Homo-oligomer: A and B are copies of this chain.
Amino acid sequence: MAEVKENHVSSRRQEILAAATQAFLDKGFSGTSMTHLAKVCGIQKASLYHHFPGKEDLFIACVTDGYAQAVDQLDDLHGDDTLNDVEKITAAFDCLYRITISSPVGRLSPVIAEVSRTMPNVAKMFHANYIARQQAVLEKIISAGVERGSYRPQNYKVLHHLVFGPIVTLSLSREMFASFDDLDSHFPVDELKAGHLSAILTELGVADTMQPLSQPA
């Protein structure tokens, strides 16, 4: 009973958050109006203000709610001890690509960029709770491999640059050129991910096992 009620209450809130996230993705922050938001939610504008004190708070809730679920996946990653070093980084790539390209919070990055000047606190929060945590998990995985001698020692600032750069840009490009009818041939996620992983493994000093060249011993 109490559960039903709770579900009902939070589902309304979640419903608004989902619609708002989609709207912010489509039209940006300033381009999204509370009137439009109310319309797609099927409620009156005033009712929005019953659930959220203002537009800015609503946006912050979208971001917070978004990375809450995203970062959990990352923490699971590091904890898994059944994988060897290369398997671990492969799993990490799968996870990072999925989060950045498919999850709301990853896709919201350009919108956060839009408001970063007028709401610098949101940018700070986003960096601390999303960017920095992603970097920390990657750094843990790599440094563990370095200690075991699997990888060469790394400049981690450069490594983050090389790992996150292509992923974030791919996500941005896919948002930016979403209107292209040949989006997946322009930006084929799996192919780019595989090439990217291969390059990073090379950079880490791991012989690339995927090497397609038939090289007779």
Contact = CB atoms under 8 A, between A and B. Distances in A.
A166 B139 CA distance: 17
A176 B116 contact: yes
A95 interface: no
Contacts of A15: none
Contacts of A117: 26-27, 178-179
A54 interface: no
Interface band, chain A: 35 or more
Interface in A56-72: none
Interface string A10-46: 0000000000000000111111000000000000000
A114 B108 CA distance: 10
Contacts of A111: 114
A148 B45 CA distance: 65
A163 B158 CA distance: 13
A127 interface: yes
Contact of A167 (B123, B124, B165, B199): B165
A17 B189 CA distance: 37
Secondary structure class of chain A's binding surface, majority of residues: helix
B161 A192 contact: yes
A175 B113 contact: yes
A73 interface: no
B157 A192 contact: yes
A39 B60 CA distance: 30
Interface in A66-122: 109-118, 120
A54 B58 CA distance: 31
Interface of A: 26-31, 109-118, 120, 123-124, 126-127, 155, 157-158, 161-162, 164-170, 172, 175-180, 188, 191-192, 195-196, 199, 202-203
